[in-house]
Amino acid sequence: MDEITVDVAVNGRPEQVRVSADVTLLDLLRERLGLTGTKKGCDQGACGACTVLVDGRRVVSCLTLAVQADGREVRTVEGLGGGHPMQQAFLHHDAFQCGFCTPGQMMSAVALIEEGRAGSDEDIREYMSGNLCRCGAYPNIVAAIREVAGR
């Protein structure tokens, strides 16, 4: 299969990568760029572990082709840096247990607040419903989001 050049800014850093047309954004991030914070969960778009932001919008990167990110800004959990308020709130509220879903949860939570959709606990639960946590840390995740949204 022929390769296509993808020009993408990942966490503010310009990248130019040659990929085949069937490579997912998730595989581009993890395997080609070494950004392993984004997790491969179900690989079917159902769990949200692979959630990243593309031009500020949440996408499940396992169902997004890398070529769809051409010319766009991609933000991963690594792009939050070490002291993002959401990271601090997740720690403060113990909003993770095994931690596998945490990167996707955090990226969805950041987007949720940027979208202005953290008005109530019900809103938070609704707009986070695409991110599954097998450990059941949902109340703590909601509390963390509420804390950051209240700042």
pLDDT digits 0-9 by tens, 104-119? 999 999 999 999 999 9
Burial of 43 (0-12, 13-18, 19+ CB in 10 A): middle
| Residue 151 confidence (pLDDT) above 80 | no
| Residue 91 confidence (pLDDT) above 90 | yes
- CATH code of the domain made up of 3-79: 3.10.20.30
Mean pLDDT of 77-93: 94
Between 22 and 97, the higher pLDDT residue: 22
CA distance 10 to 141: 26
pLDDT at 64: 98
Report the candidate in 17, 66, 72 with the shortest Cα–Cα distance to residue 38: 66
CA distance 71 to 69: 6
CA distance 136 to 134: 6
Report the candidate in 32, 5, 2, 31 with the shortest Cα–Cα distance to residue 16: 5
Domain range list for the chain: 3-79, 80-149
Q: Compute the mean pLDDT over every residue in the chain, rounded to the nearest whole number.
A: 96
CA distance 147 to 1: 48
CATH architecture of 80-149: Orthogonal Bundle (1.10)
pLDDT at 4: 95
CA distance 65 to 147: 34
Give me the torsion for CA of 56, 67, 60, 141, rounded to 10°: -40
| Residue 1 confidence (pLDDT) above 80 | no
Are residues 149 and 95 in contact, defined by beta-carbon separation less than 8 angstroms?
no
pLDDT at 83: 87
Mean pLDDT of 32-40: 97
